[in-house]
Amino acid sequence: MTTQYRGNLHRLQTCATQRGRARFERWWMKKLEKPGYSKKIAAWQRKPVDKYPMYVTMSGEPIHEPMHQREIMSITVSDIAKKAAVSTGTVSRVLNNKSNVGSDHKQRVLSAMAELDYRPNLYARGMRTNPTKQKTGQIAMVFINRPDYVMHTAYTMQYIHGVQQKIDAAGRKCLFITWNEKPGDDTIPPVLLDGDIDGVVVKGQASTEIGKQWLSRYPRVILNPTPTSALPDCDCVRADYEAGIRDCVAYLASLGHRRIAFVHIKTFHCAKLLGYRRAIDEFGLDVDEGLIQTRHILPPLQSDSELDWAIDNLWSLSEPPTAILSNDYFCSAIYHALAKRGLKVPDDVSVIGYDNDISCCETLRPKLTSVDIEAVELGKLAVKQLLDRIQNPQESYRKICTRSKIVERESVRKL
């Protein structure tokens, strides 16, 4: 099979719409009428597109079920214009974030783009308009809709450090962008408007349609999203929260703890709670719903007394826990609530955190044992996957999970 023929067959396989297939078929049949093409009719097959992303380990082994992925859509600006009942010029102005578009027309275009699942490719469009355009060598790390308290945590700095190290090692330039969307405000960071970047590492999630559309223009990798996030069709690198919590419970069980409490934000990390429940069952520990204390709390905590309710509930049980599992951010308030009851860590109760936020773990007394999600390595892995995506844009999307490790300090004791 010639190189040209393989390319043509690939084009057929990636025509996801019936109209696209029919258009391609007419074009192809004309080519078959030319001398030398008649023998290639037998190879005419429409094979399904194998593009189902998989959660895999760093070694490439699958650890989750395949997830559905959208096929490549051959939607054009003309299709959007027809759907929205506007001109192609109006669609172009919306795509380029021009101000001379009425709000009604803009909303109709955005709705049509969402309904048709339009995903423009900024680099491909640049190549069409300027075939001599070269890659800029710039990679952007975009923090979108991240609260201030998160931006100042140690593990956020570790993400940045890992990303910067890998980009420097690749001989590329690194840009860091913070972008906080506001309702009714369609302002896009100028560097994204310029399009002079090759790809983005995204921390956070776009909440507006215009934000989602602009980020979709670039090759991108989502860095450590929460398990409840609705992920778009793109690459993703995250810590395996369920496995991390399982390791916590296994560690505490090996030290003789049977009543382990779970204190966390309600519904925020369902994977952590799922990992806790499964580990309790796996190791045959005491099953007590009273040991699970969750509530809708929006960080940052306003005072160290905001988790008193959790400790009050736990110590109202006929048999209080011997260990408490939470995240690093809550552990300071847990220490405070335990001290108010005259309880000492780890003499009276052990405490273990999650995230290994050095600014928290090393300043608490006693120092906090915690699960290290290895944020530096996550940042490096995200850049590595992004560079692979830039070089191989047709490869299947990958959802990569990494395992965490426990950093022992002073807050856990053996029974």
* Each residue's pLDDT tens digit, 212-256: 878 888 899 999 887 656 566 789 999 999 999 999 999 999 999
Q: Is the pLDDT of residue 308 over 80?
A: yes
Query: Nearest CA to 96 among 220, 195, 234?
Result: 195
Higher pLDDT, residue 332 or 116: 332
Q: Is the pLDDT of residue 346 over 90?
A: yes
Average pLDDT over residues 130-143: 70
Distance (Å, whole) CA 200 – CA 197 = 8
Q: Quick: pLDDT tens for 333-344.
A: 999 999 999 999
Distance (Å, whole) CA 329 – CA 254 = 25
Residue 360: burial class (beta carbons within 10 Å; 0-12, 13-18, 19+): buried
Tell me the CA distances in angstroms from 204 to 21, 151, 174, 223, 329, one per residue in order: 37, 11, 18, 8, 18
What is the percentage of the chain residues whose pLDDT exceeds 70?
Answer: 73
Higher pLDDT, residue 303 or 202: 202
Two tokens at 100? 């001379």
Average pLDDT over residues 333-360: 94
Domain ranges of the chain: 3-49, 241-373
pLDDT value at residue 122:
47
DSSP assignment of 73-117 equals P---HHHHHHHHTS-HHHHHHHHTT-S-S-HHHHHHHHHHHHHHT
Distance (Å, whole) CA 179 – CA 160 = 16
Distance (Å, whole) CA 225 – CA 201 = 12
Distance (Å, whole) CA 357 – CA 153 = 7
Confirm whether pTM is higher than 0.75: no
Which band of pLDDT confidence, cut at 50, 70 and 90, is reported for residue 62? very low
**What is the overall mean pLDDT for the chain?**
79
Q: Is the pLDDT of residue 178 over 70?
A: yes
Two tokens at 280? 């309790």
- Worst-scoring range by mean pLDDT, 25-29, 76-80, 286-290? 25-29
Q: Quick: pLDDT tens for 7-51.
A: 444 444 444 455 555 666 666 566 656 655 444 444 443 333 333
Q: Is the pLDDT of residue 70 over 50?
A: no
- Highest average pLDDT, of 144-148, 261-265, 294-298, 302-306, comes from 261-265
* Beta-bridge partner residues of 401: 238
Residues constituting the chain: 415
What is the percentage of the chain residues whose pLDDT exceeds 90?
Answer: 41
Sheet containing 399-402, strands listed edge to edge, beginning at the edge strand earlier in sequence: 55-56, 399-402, 235-239, 220-223, 199-204, 138-144, 173-179
**Helices first, then strands: H and E counts in the chain:** 16, 13
Tell me the CA distances in angstroms from 297 to 11, 306, 322, 330, one per residue in order: 50, 9, 24, 11
Fold of the domain spanning 241-373? Rossmann fold (3.40.50)
Average pLDDT over residues 374-380: 94
Q: Is the pLDDT of residue 167 over 50?
A: yes
Distance (Å, whole) CA 403 – CA 378 = 10
Q: Is the pLDDT of residue 155 over 60?
A: yes
pLDDT value at residue 181:
83
Tell me the CA distances in angstroms from 203 to 67, 159, 163, 173, 413, one per residue in order: 21, 9, 11, 18, 36
Average pLDDT over residues 107-113: 87
Tell me the CA distances in angstroms from 232 to 15, 90, 117, 202, 398, one per residue in order: 20, 26, 11, 12, 12
Q: Is the pLDDT of residue 182 over 90?
A: no
CA gyration radius, the chain: 26
Q: Quick: pLDDT tens for 384-399.
A: 999 999 999 888 889 8
3-state SS assignment for residue 413: coil
- CA 295: distance to chain centroid? 24
Distance (Å, whole) CA 65 – CA 55 = 7
Two tokens at 372? 């290290």
Higher pLDDT, residue 13 or 147: 147
